[in-house]
Structure 1
């Protein structure tokens, strides 16, 4: 081993030059040992890799379905529970964050609500809305048609069809952050209308595929709308009352 500063020849195990005191490079053995330690380092976290792969797959699925939502959602869709659940969760999150943006940090000091008083009620309201819609549609189809329907497969197909509502809820969230109230209200309204439109399309698709019907499909659809509106009216009144009370506590 040679000192890089003064050129003195040194023993392989030396750490400092005996002539000038300069620190010297580690020995070949030490270098190989360090390289072995780096090579045998812990492998990447499997959970992180799975989440990363799922995110990439979902993004690819989202873009392809957004380009042709009717074709992919109602014709080719075989159903994916994970993607369906992600869609439902994203709609609930974006809707709740939009409420927080409108009633929280962008609201006036008189009507401003905290994160917990605006986000949490909004999140659970949207989850209840989607659960009542999906569950109510499934039960209605069970009563109307004779063909057997699997709940998991039905949930997967319906949930995967919610790509456009996911996009609408995201746009509503962005406009809420910017502070464009009229645009936010427009896209929130479109969000609910689109969910109802998808519900009708799924209902018609299942009825057409059925061999026979126990009840006229129109009556089943009217009854379903009535039940959904009654439940949503009750839930929204309860949540609204809770928000109003939070302003005075």
Structure 2
């Protein structure tokens, strides 16, 4: 049973992205649940451990194996079943015992943005007291790496996913869109006329990759670079900003 659950945003993998509040939370946690995602993504576990070490935390680290989504289920049903299983594995990893102190999870980026850890925590019964520590988002890391503002003057910003971009395209009245969770490079389905793209992967790390330019000119380069990087490292986290120029 978990009485207090702390969800700590850790940015995009650079230990320097962790805020002072986040580092303090790591030091004061009793247990840190650490997901493992197979040998091809061992880098992610190493990064989390490096962040824990850099914070000075002496919390007990409890690993749990991350489940795989069932591709045969409809999308929303697949995600719901996946979340149920993750919650079950948190409790199983703790051996069903109460923890004397806060249990922490390191959340990539910020827990509020395209991350389901808060929703998964809501599945726990009894529900613990939840504390959320904000972190640097991939959007912040992307715009900082390219040294660009997120929005145009007085302009709105759409934050969306590759799935949504494939299904609905980019509306003509949208000036700026940030696209996340896009393993299929869905920008390939857009009319590139007048679109500029700023793409980044492994943001804030020593593996960081950046490409920007008119979509018509750099789109293919992004697709090839992304595929090569994923093959080399076994995983990739990337995002991009599209803007009508």
Q: Which has the higher strand share?
A: 2
TM superposition score category, shorter chain reference = under 0.3
Larger radius of gyration: 1
State the TM-score, normalized to the length of structure 1: 0.23
State the TM-score, normalized to the length of structure 2: 0.23
